[in-house]
Chains A and B, each alone.
Chain A
């Protein structure tokens, strides 16, 4: 086994992991606050990709700028989904919430299919062609920028959650809903904002990855599954867990592609998931609930 190849795998895995982290942070935020799993998470991300695709092809805006628009649009979508649908099943059994979100996922995925067709697409960015050589390994500039922006966004999100009043009320509602009600937090509003922010994460993540990863409507499903995977590995509801988990899963997949073969890379992360579920069902950073 070539050491350079392994290093290269490690590096590109790590760089791609930034997007995984951002995506998983969004999911874990929604889950942590509402205890609802957003089964449409990946499909929302695909819409983020198509939005950046539209903005690039119609208005000539580079995805590394248009991610702001994607994030804003997805924030609105998340808010709507929460207010219009999720809010009505917030106290219903889990299976009802799951089915509802599966329904949303089906609608989003197939709307994309109707609007954009089944062919794989990719957004062209001038950054896409550039590479940097770091000794024996190279860095794809697009991936580097994606990584940096994704990490910056994750940091910005944690600053929002830890440093602002609104962010603190979101964390408070996640921590103890009754306690939040007692001190007069409008929990329904917090839920809507949290869902919006969670969706904005994938809006941005989708745009950022749209020039790296070829995508088509069904991509959403596998992205959803990957984000569940990450969030369980990291610990459901844990922001740090989602961040580390994203990097971990990405690196694992990347190394899996090197050591096994590219089509088997997901097998590595799923095996990781099974191991976690067996020995630490609460995840790496999750709290054990009795």
Chain B
């Protein structure tokens, strides 16, 4: 399998803080890969660097064999990567439908309608709330809307940042089941998640970040068995 996304020695940060350095990883076509680690380990930073929301200070990012680092976020979306950010970042005073359409605005009308239909099939709840303002949705619905918005652009790689954050267990299950389905249909995913069991259930492989570096990588099974993962979270 060829690597769809490859990070090589990535360094990025905020101001004088270097949040990640020397991060190298790859995501192959069709895979779901988890990036796990405690708060402040650099997971979100890595995603933001990939999607061009944060400048890359060193290292390189390749997508489908072409360099991505240095491109503006708009260009990166156009290349086929969408980012479902932490905290959802919807447009609260716009309708669910508007939010979704904004995600797919690059496509022509027919493709957009297809994508919309797909999203509504995945999340029937969004269909029901099509005309409601995004700011008035429940947390779980907002997360669905954010994922749907990301899917509307018909990306080849979906970056997901903490999709379970602040949600009740039932909702988390629903969202992860849907993500599994989307991945099963061929969507490549890179997932940042604090809910380790959920993340590992969805992903084929994973990387563990600690203090801005990758300290562990492995398959789902090997990570599940690792005492290191528990240590990374609870510091015991």
Contacts and interface: CB of A to CB of B under 8 A. Distances in A.
A and B from one assembly?
yes
A88 B89 CA distance: 25
Contacts of A172: 91, 94, 98, 102
B78 to A, nearest CB: 7
Contacts of B92: 175-176
A182 B53 contact: yes
Interface in A185-204: 185-186
A183 B153 contact: yes
A179 B73 CA distance: 11
Interface core residue of A165, A169, A172, A182 (most chain B CB under 10 Å)? A182
B67 interface: no
B85 interface: yes
Interface string A160-191: 00000100110110011011111111100000
Interface centre among A165, A169, A172, A183 (most CB of B within 10 A): A183
What band does the interface of chain A fall in when counting residues whose beta carbon is under 8 Å from B? 10 to 19
Interface in B36-70: 51, 53
B89 A184 contact: no
B174 interface: no
A175 B94 contact: yes
Interface in B69-95: 72-78, 82-83, 85, 89-94
Nearest to A181: B73
Nearest to A184: B77
Given A168-B98, A172-B102, A186 B90 contact: no
Interface string B101-128: 1110110000000000000000000000
B157 to A, nearest CB: 13
Given A171-B91, A176-B90, A178-B89, A183 B53 contact: no
A169 B101 CA distance: 10
Given A165-B105, A169-B105, A172-B102, A181 B53 contact: yes
B149 interface: yes
Contacts of A176: 89-92
Contacts of A182: 51, 53, 73, 83, 85, 89
Contacts of B103: 183
Contacts of B91: 171-172, 175-176, 179-180
A179 B74 contact: no
Contacts of A183: 77, 82-83, 102-103, 149-150, 153
Contact of B72 (A165, A168, A180, A186): A186
A161 B213 CA distance: 44
Contacts of A168: 94, 98, 101-102, 105
Contacts of A175: 91-94
Nearest to A162: B98
Interface in A137-172: 165, 168-169, 171-172
A145 to B, nearest CB: 33
A178 B74 contact: no
Interface of B: 51, 53, 72-78, 82-83, 85, 89-94, 98, 101-103, 105-106, 149-150, 153
22 contacts: A168-B102, A168-B105, A169-B102, A171-B93, A171-B94, A171-B98, A172-B91, A176-B90, A176-B92, A179-B85, A182-B53, A182-B83, A183-B82, A183-B83, A183-B102, A183-B150, A184-B73, A184-B75, A184-B106, A184-B153, A185-B74, A186-B74
Given A176-B89, A184-B73, 13 more contacts: A165-B101, A168-B94, A169-B102, A175-B92, A176-B90, A178-B89, A179-B91, A182-B73, A183-B102, A183-B153, A184-B76, A184-B82, A184-B153
Q: Would you list the 5 A-B pairs with minimal beta carbon distance, nearest first? A: A184-B77, A179-B89, A175-B91, A184-B74, A186-B74
